[in-house]
Structure 1
Amino acid sequence: MSSSAARVVVVGSFNVDHVWHSPALPRPGETLQGEYRSGPGGKGFNQVVAAARAGAQTAFVCALGDDAGGALARQLADTDGIDLQDLRSGSPTGTAGIYVDDDGRNCIVIGAGANADLSADFVSARAGAIGGARIVLAQLESPVESVLEAMRLARAAGVRTLLNPAPANAECPRELLAVADVVTPNETEFTTLLSRHAHEEVDADSLVALDDARLHRLCRTLLPRGTVVVTLGAAGCFVSHREDKTRGDARDHYRVAAERVEPIDTTGAGDAFNGALAASMARDAEAPFQAHVRYATRYAALSTEREGAAAAMPAQGDMERRFAGR
């Protein structure tokens, strides 16, 4: 199957990112000198750009303001060949304030703006696009009822669903987890979901060193019928399948190591992973799931060697040159 036939529909957010780079992250009451830049972001847009540049035919269901930010989104979607299906909102386009330090760490404050106006009715009217996809990917910077509608439509059409339950403080009800085939939390998101839905209290910082058998059990407790991919930053990720749904993998749980890179900005790395994972899954549904995860891990690693969020997403050619023969 050619990559152009691999269709990924992303339902999610677009933000205009305002980014300050300083030697350290600011502490309460502290004023730092730094460098400023602005560019496109939002988890949904980052992920759809990643999927498009990773070779998938893509569509993006979102809400945008009738302002400069909305115009930027429309222009950039056209540049990357993304089928933009946007609700025209009376609210301003979403924004994010991002601080990045010299180690590539970041902290983020988001103003939802138009993203909060994405309605379940608008999503429902995109049932044709969703039902024609191979993968539907969503996050939690949009209203949860709209995300749930997208996932339900996909499930009803036999389309695989991929949920990135981010950010950690967003609402993620049990009904949403129940319609996800694959869930991709980071350490904080995973432990937050465990606390909410499984009454398991686990320290996020301990996950990297946690015994694999116990981590697999926690994943099965959270999502008994689906696959969980816990992203662990520089430590790679942990994959847990239902025993009879290994998707060509020999084992029902395993770790995938991260690639060695020289990160300068980790903003959007999780989004790079999710977009690339969706593109890889859409390209070849019969490939072992571990191969999809390895591709996504490499893609995310490469994105951290560039500044920005959506702008940092590598093209497929960049991936082929960097990881040729590996």
Structure 2
Amino acid sequence: MADVVVVGSYVQDLSFRTEQLPAPGETRLGTFQSGAGGKGFNQAVACSRQGVVTQFLGAVANDLFAVEAENFVAHEESLTAFLERIDSSHTGVASIVVDGKAQNQIVVALGANGRLSRSFVQQRAALFHDAKIVVTQLEMNIEAVDETLSIARESSSISILDPAPINPELSVELLQKADVITPNESEFTSLLKQLFGDDPGERFWERTDKELQGLCELCGVPLVIVTLGGTGCFVSHHRLDGRISLGEGFFRASAPKVNAIDTTGAGDAFSGGLAAGLVRYRNDIKSAIAFASCVAGLSTERVGTSPAMPYSFEVHERFRELPSPVSRE
């Protein structure tokens, strides 16, 4: 039985590091490494490395990258994976270029992720009924996202949707099936434009917190956490049903000081850390967000995505101000 179920993408990362991102038509020299990744898989690894039993549902093909996924999972103590095999496709792959300032450019070929089936998720509905938290994102077949959130609602699990990458098939109805959404600044702006026809403008974050709260309420989701990189996040909460310990309102949460060298996967680390934090702190959202920010921050001090996700002991050694987890007894 797992505390957290993550339904999402597995992508093999082909990562390049160079001092400056190449301009169109330009070739630059750099270094290379390959490793496990994908938004869903990164979230699952980030969560499981906090000592929270986690199950991952995703899709791969029958190729060498699928073997790498299985080998990675075999070495993760608190993580198990259920993988749908798509013979007529390829395992997801991403080309990632990171510069000397930790900025990145990414191109993803979803492959098998785009064909993760609704039926595969349905057949594993029992996993959701045992889970406290269900996490998903948009780097896969949108029908599987819909099924994931529907089953999570039926099972009374808290559902977290990372609405990235922005998907033109995302609807207001689907978004509002989630209990929590975790967009970054640009993703949140895109959501407002795509779903509600509201253009916040270029000076979006110069608005007052009360105005930002109003924009968050447009989403119709109980808990909206807009991540703002090194400056922390803006949190809007309303219509909660008692499962998360917050009343109505909004607040800002700061981010820890880190020496970032690669921000690829930081948002995934936050979402996975948030899921783990909700389990560890018994749905105390402020403690869970503080914990998630530390997981995400520490992940940026390492190269890669899934391999860069920190372990619980590393997080607590680095950020000693974090509260101790609440006993599950």
Which TM bucket (shorter chain)? over 0.9
Per the TM alignment, residue 249 of structure 1 is displaced from its structure 2 partner at its CA by 3.8
Query: What are the superposed Cα offsets for residues 28-84 of structure 1, whole Å, 9 maximum, x if unpaired?
Result: 111111111111110011000000001210000001111111111111112113221
Q: What do you get for the CA RMSD once the two structures are aligned? A: 1.6
User: 1:15: Cα distance to partner?
Assistant: 0.7
- The residue aligned with 2:326 is none
Distance 2:46 2:212 in 1: 28
Q: For 1:263-307, what per-residue CA distance to the aligned partner results, in whole angstroms no more than 9, with x for missing partners?
A: 0000000000000001111233342x1111111011100100000
The question of 1:283 aligning with 2:280 is answered yes
- The residue number in structure 1 matching 2:257 is 260
In structure 2, the residue matched to 1:313 is 309
Counterpart CA distance in 2 for 1:261 and 1:201 is 32
Q: Quote the residue 2:99 is aligned against.
A: 101
Kept after mapping to 2: 8 A contact 1:6/1:279: no
- Is 1:221 equivalent to 2:218 in the alignment? yes
- The runs of 5 or more residues in structure 1 that have no matched partner are none
1:124 corresponds to 2:122: yes
Q: Which runs of 5+ in 2 are unaligned?
A: 323-329
Report what 1:212 is aligned to.
209
User: 1:163 maps to what in 2?
Assistant: 161
**How do 1:166-205 residues align onto structure 2 when only pairs under 5 Å count?**
166-169=164-167, 171-203=169-201
The equivalences for 1:45-194 within 5 A come to 45-81=41-77, 82-90=79-87, 91-169=89-167, 171-194=169-192
CA distance in 1, matches of 2:99, 2:127: 40
Aligned length: 319
Give the Cα–Cα distance (whole angstroms) in 2 for the partners of residues 154 and 54 of structure 1.
22
- What CA distance in whole angstroms lies between the structure 1 residues aligned with 2:39 and 2:254? 24
Q: State the secondary structure of the residue aligned to 2:206.
A: coil
- Between 1:208-217 and 1:297-306, the stretch displaced more is 208-217
Percent identical among aligned pairs is 41
**Contact in 1 for aligned 2:238/2:247 (Cα 8 Å):** no
Q: Structure 2 vs 1, CA of residues 206 and 232 (structure 1 numbering), >3 Å: closer, same or farther?
A: farther
The residue number in structure 2 matching 1:272 is: 269
The 1:40–1:55 alpha-carbon spacing in structure 2 relative to 1, beyond 3 Å, is same
Deviation at 1:248, TM superposition (A): 3.0
SS of aligned partner of 1:17: strand
With normalisation by structure 1, the TM-score equals 0.94
Q: CA deviation at 1:244?
A: 5.6
Deviation digits for residues 133-172 of structure 1 (CA, Å, limit 9, x no counterpart): 1111001011111111011011011111000000124532
SS in 1 for 2:211: helix
